[in-house]
Structure 1
Amino acid sequence: MTFACKRVRLKSDSRETAKTVANENSDTPKVTLGKELTKHRTNIREIIRWSNATPIRCRGGIGYACCFCSNQYPDPADLKRHTIDGHDEETKRDFMKGKDMYGFFVKLDITSLVCNICLRNINTLENLMTHLKEEHDKNIHTDINNHILPFKFESETLKCFICLNVFNKFKALQEHMHTHYRNFICEVCDAGFVNKHLLLCHREGHKKGTFECKQCTDVFDTVRKMKQHVRKVHNGSLPHKCGYCNERFKENFHKNEHLAKVHGVVGPAIKCQACDRTFATQQTWLLHTKKYHLMQRQYKCSRCEMDFFSKRELNDHMVKHTGTREYRCDICFKCYGRLKTLKEHLRRLHSDERRRN
């Protein structure tokens, strides 16, 4: 079964962004842009032709999507085999045809990168380009900044091969890779982007003003916040769709639970680099790392020298100083200073009574 992967388009409510892009484009002579675009197209075609590097359209509902057809594969290695064996040179020759300079952007799988001519193993995309140009006299242009984000899938864990940060979503890894390929820089927050279109879209988030929700009285300081509010509160948006049965979910973790229970698909676990624990989401891994390995303790007790990772932990600690007992058992009316102590009390002494009720 194959599934088409959605392509990003400018919607009617993003006309300002489109106008901005058009204005920015006019700053550079069209002849210069045309020459640079030709170089980018030539480079990616030569890379695909003379190596086993393979492009990725996106990470869809089923898996990594082919750039030349609608197939998707949960394992990127299967996409690589499909792309190399299933599509001929004539099909690949038209890759990125029709893309303009400001939207030119390629996601490239360079796992186990090999030169197809001499079968030499090469560790980076940049080294491959230099190798093809200098060793095999291929038409590679090294006088431009690549609009390519390279990825390596060397284990079940999604990892940046440059700085070794780990992620549990391809989208998060892709966004992270822009920190290493900073062709265009946001002057407000110093965020980097591989092409100018992504920078211009990002800039919209910095524009401040007064934006009122037309369906309630809430007011926001950016258009982006107002649109997120409308989608979540008023539209009943269910943005996370299952790629197997098309059921939709409001939150991504609900979709992941559905995938595991209904379709038996479990996302890649994140292994802590400092200990043996594994985590289902990047958020829980980050919390673990900050708490137990970085020893972050920003909540300080005002009555002693102890400090804590979370406000809840500080509040539990303050019971020692205040003696407050605000958690009461509804069965025997005994009071406790901490919720977890009350829960333990209910489990040990009243579990049978609660089941009967």
Structure 2
Amino acid sequence: MKATFKAHMRFHTNYCVCESCGKRCRNNNQLQEHKRARHGLGRIHKCAYCEYSSATKEALTIHERRHTGERPYICDHCGATFHRRSNLVQHIAIHLPEKNFQCDMCPKKLKSRKFLQIHKHNAHTGRRYGYLCPICKHRFEKPNKVRAHARRVHGLPDEQHPPIVRVQL
């Protein structure tokens, strides 16, 4: 969209710079949020549902969607829904036919930078993790499998799911 493009171009010319680390922000508001989040200026935004607090309003909004079940980002290809935009962007890669991201440690090619990052961690670091169901302690390879298990076996909706425990194998 034209307005989005103009805002993006302004980022390259009119931006605020953090004097502590050099990060560029689109405006002074973002700069102040960055400073609170990264340079210890306090977590002033409090969750209405639990003890969580964040330095930015955006992080709080995303967090609170876990409590409310709101998933405003919808995949046009399959209808999958997400609580944050970055998860939708990452998901869309599964619908792409191309595998343009080459692993620099083996011949494997993947559909997205995120999938490449996951592959490199799983295949080349030697560190492996499992994820435990907080109810029955059954172990799974991925956290989304724990949530699906909790829905199917324990009848637990996502918004009531306790934190998933990650264990090193």
Question: TM-score, with normalisation over the residues of structure 1?
Answer: 0.27
Structure (1 or 2) with the larger CA radius of gyration:
1
TM-score, with length taken from structure 2: 0.48
